[in-house]
Structure 1
């Protein structure tokens, strides 16, 4: 994750304020309270999993959506393993409207690195553009295959 995502360190107090609902969930579910925080600029593009499903949690990333109502949803289970976050929004477009933050957590033993981005209009537009481009590519491929 260090080489893939352009990120800016965030003071713990600020991150704890912005991600309060997520941190309560994360510390309760994962039992890790030694955290480092970063705001990530390119999180929509650069979420990458390099772990296999059978590997222990300290060798992989987990992705979460923090919704505007404060609920936290882990979205990287088997259904989305090795997928970019935009694919979650492509399959469930309503989540694009209800998500406040996109969060990635990576465990390093007893320390977790938390990268997050706010789901702003710019992020939403980026996601929608990616989805549109991918759909156009699929259509071109289908037309090409139909012509064979």
Structure 2
């Protein structure tokens, strides 16, 4: 699985002009699923993201995690994270098919919720408009 995690002051996702998910402080997570991914990989990624210490402490050091700042997650499916960019027109055959990707995407959401976080999300496969106010900016790439 691949995830691009951005620390945000706020983020939202809309479909056809209607906001379907929004958060204040927390993480915007663009999540991609590969064909070899498993539930164990999904669970490990959720654990890593939810415990990522990139929020500043009283000394200005990135030492606090999402729970310590009362943050939330906005998770958006992003099959384009598996783009083959060897030519000028990217190919997406390296992304998992929906029959694998959807259950793992939903499992990631559930794993984050099980850790006590508020989780907003987009709609798998939809044409979405994502907006965010990046904080820092701080952006971390996970590739498990």
Q: TM-score, normalised by structure 1?
A: 0.24
**With CA pairs under 8 Å and 6+ residues apart, which has the higher RCO, 1 or 2?**
2
Higher helix share: 1
Q: TM-score, normalised by structure 2?
A: 0.25
Higher strand share: 2
